[in-house]
Structure 1
Amino acid sequence: MKIIKPIPTALLAAFIATAGSSSAAFAASAPDLKVALIAGKTGALEAYAKETETGFMMGLEYLTGGKMEINGRKIKVIVKDDQGKPDLGRTLLAEAYGDDKVDIAVGTTSSGSALAMLPVAKEYKKVLIVEPAVADEITGAKWNKYIFRTARSSMQDALAAASTFKSGSVAFLAQDYAFGRDAIKAGKEALAATGSKARVVHEEYAPAASTDFTAPTQRIFDALKDKPQPRVLQIVWAGPNPLNKIADMKPERYGIALAPGGNILPVMKTWKAYAGTEGTIFYYYGFPKNKMNDWLVAEHTKRFKAPPDMFTAGGMAAAGAVVAALTKVPNANGDQLAAAMEGMSFETPKGTMSFRKEDHQALQPMYHFRIKKDQKNEWDILELVREIPASELPLPVRNKR
């Protein structure tokens, strides 16, 4: 019988030390994980883009314990401004995948630009996480397997709003471009999907840069004033919201209630005079109760003297998806990442989200709010009527997989 001699303790210790130092040296020499963040930092949606970037960077900080690394590899974020222009968005994403050799990309602010970017992800076989663009086509007709969305969709917005309209008459006011028309189309479908008995009696589309709402509002009032109660005007608007100007026309004369979609904090703080008005929103800093949101609210308030906004939370959600994905697939191979991310759950300021396997849309709760009567400070704007769980939002699958 051959006797195997034990390895001397000193020699074994030396081997372990050598192996450990080699692993550490490998981690230290491993290439950076590169992430492209594309956003419309100039143009009409500049405020949204800046919030997204802030939230994304804070998300990476929180999720990596301040180290800004995953599995020992440093995270390098390359930020590009597409100015909300589809052609530029497409070019910048190709540049990020091709020249910068990024492992994964996130973007962008404008739905038009995001839609232009989708085929680029397919061409390069690299994952694109869409945040904060909302057009339904992104996870619908224009989708491909490399596309994942942490942002909510127009249909999720619409389903949340529809859940608050049980009966009566509804009119819509929206901007006359893809976002607005997509939102109203989704709104009408959502009413049917939620079993609402409310009937849509009018749709009004105004130029995106409108400042005078007298004529379109009067047309809405005329269409609603004799219809069954309750009478609701649903406002879907990106950027400075027309709520104040419409309220000045006294819709209550006709028994019409206004239902604004949630907006960024600088817009909503101008709504103080409309206490009791209700609407729906995908994030307000005071609503979610979890460790990540607690940290975000505290840190953002400390650093910026104001609480985080809707798109700040969205950027942090995208960071959660990036960290979870690259932890699962360290080599960042596009096909392996796409497979691993299907059904993947990840942490966000709204709680745990999951990418639906069928179309890679992040399923998430929404919030029914009421504008507060007693506001303690300029950011104390909304009170929660009800969190609407994702399970109550019957989001259809519309991609052609």
Structure 2
Amino acid sequence: MVQTNRRNVMKMLGASVAAGALGLPMYARAQSAPYKMGMVTALSGPSEMLGRPMLAGAEYAVAEINAAGGINGRQIELLVRDSKGRPDAGTVAARELIGEGCVMLLGTVSSAVALAISGILQQENALLMTAAAHSLRLTHEDFNRHYFRVTDNPYMRQRAQAKLMAELNGDVTAWGGLVPDHEYGRSTWDSFKHGLETYYPEIAGKTPSISDPILCQYGGSDYRNYIASAMRDPGVGFFNSLYGGDAITMFQQAKPYGFFQRKAPIVDSANEFIAARAMKAEMPDMWIGSHWYHGAFKGNEINDRIYAKYLEQTGIRFPDGFLSEGHAAVMAYAGALAKDGAGTAEALIPALEGLSFETATGTRTIRAEDHQAIKPVINYRVRSAQNEDGFEVVDFRVIDGAETIEPASPGAPVAW
């Protein structure tokens, strides 16, 4: 039973008088309530360094939209929860946000977290727009209409990396890999291997020799046994998809073995500038796949704006691509809300399917069939340097994602 007192009565009377004075029916007040978006990302644990810039990008987008008057006259309210990079914590966080009225969920660093949340979306009648999780299962075997991916996927990125290696290092035909023993690691390796098998004969005129990948512990502290196995591997070029703190630990432990002198080129799936900022002058020379590189999109208004803001706030001159993807996820929802302002899952799904919208990497389109975004694939070459950062970008390539994306097959695995 709600207790009514004089203060509550006066509040209700004041609201009624205000609405009447503006000539608005009472339900108009509900119409002006903010659209709620719920962000689930890693804000603690090993993946925090990925989740923090993702959150910053989402916050920038929300602030920009609200400053411009919102969408359909309504502001956006961003509610945030920490997934800790764990599926159980991520699912709890998602349910909390849905309970607070967030139909639109976004974020997630880990594929395992995204897969867990995806499993409850239809039951909860909510959506999830992932800004980093790369598992191919999300848009294939485990696809459901309530899930969308705003960024690229391993098939697009790792095949683009393999194509780049065939173009730049066609004489290096023996390849090996160090990958985490979980869904993301297996997806990245399968995609890179497929790319080597496709592009080396086509571009370099040679058939590559590809070793079985060395499967590594996720969240480990000692990678020396894996590194020793890699040193014995016949692969000359090496692919790595360990990420975050795991990658930094592995790179540091690999240096005394002479790994980076004996194995080259090194292709890294997704570590952005994280390892380079940590290792500085100890950073090995490698090609790194990225969601976004600000230097590749100068002149793009969104790119220049979010880069300048992040630099001002953090002093970081080489921000990670997770920044742009958090921003892009909000922009995708904003574009859908502009098409249909109801803000329900039933309205948003068709509004998102086939949607084109502007981002820091240019126009993206969400493919209607499997809800996979088509966007540029970015790779840059990083090495140590004697400068204020301790490293430098010596080359970068932007590849049209439409050239390397897989055929849509929602509900079915990728056909290798």
SS in 1 for 2:113: helix
> Which residue of the partner structure matches residue 368 of structure 1?
379
Letter in 1 for 2:315: K
Instruction: Provide the rounded CA distance (Å) in 2 between the counterparts of 1:37 and 1:379.
Output: 33
Are 1:159 and 2:159 counterparts? yes
Are 1:189 and 2:189 counterparts? no
Contact 1:243/1:260 (CA < 8 Å) preserved in 2?
A: no
> Which residue of the partner structure matches residue 175 of structure 1?
180
Contact 2:44/2:82 (CA < 8 Å) preserved in 1?
A: yes
Structure 1 residue 194: Cα displacement:
4.1
> Which residue of the partner structure matches residue 11 of structure 2?
none
> Which residue of the partner structure matches residue 88 of structure 2?
87
1:268-325 per-position Cα deviation (integer Å, ceiling 9, x unaligned): 2325455754343332232223110100111111122224322111111111112111
1:313-338 per-position Cα deviation (integer Å, ceiling 9, x unaligned): 11111111121111111111212211
Instruction: Provide the rounded CA distance (Å) in 2 between the counterparts of 1:169 and 1:137.
Output: 28
Contact 1:275/1:370 (CA < 8 Å) preserved in 2?
A: no
Are 1:387 and 2:398 counterparts? yes
SS in 1 for 2:105: strand
| Correspondent of 1:356 among 334, 344, 367 | 367
> Which residue of the partner structure matches residue 216 of structure 2?
206
Contact 2:152/2:291 (CA < 8 Å) preserved in 1?
A: yes
- TM-score, scaled to structure 1: 0.84
SS in 2 for 1:354: strand
Q: CA RMSD in A?
A: 2.9
| Correspondent of 1:218 among 207, 220, 228 | 228
- TM-score, scaled to structure 2: 0.81
Q: Identity over aligned residues, as a percent?
A: 22
Letter in 2 for 1:191: L
> Which residue of the partner structure matches residue 5 of structure 1?
none
Aligned positions, number: 377
Are 1:248 and 2:256 counterparts? yes
Task: Provide structure 1 residue ranges, at least 5 long, that are not aligned to the other structure.
Answer: 1-20, 226-230
Name the stretch that deviates more: 211-220 or 31-40: 211-220
Contact 2:267/2:287 (CA < 8 Å) preserved in 1?
A: yes
> Which residue of the partner structure matches residue 133 of structure 1?
133
Letter in 1 for 2:92: T
> Which residue of the partner structure matches residue 296 of structure 2?
287
Name the stretch that deviates more: 256-265 or 169-178: 256-265
- Change in Cα spacing, 1:255 to 1:85, as seen in structure 2 (3 Å) is closer
Instruction: Provide the rounded CA distance (Å) in 2 between the counterparts of 1:96 and 1:278.
Output: 38
- Change in Cα spacing, 1:252 to 1:148, as seen in structure 2 (3 Å) is closer
Task: Provide structure 2 residue ranges, at least 5 long, that are not aligned to the other structure.
Answer: 1-21, 202-206
Instruction: Provide the rounded CA distance (Å) in 1 between the counterparts of 2:404 and 2:390.
Output: 28
Name the stretch that deviates more: 185-194 or 289-298: 185-194
> Which residue of the partner structure matches residue 10 of structure 1?
none
Q: Radius of gyration: which is bigger?
A: 1
Letter in 2 for 1:36: G
- Change in Cα spacing, 1:276 to 1:138, as seen in structure 2 (3 Å) is same
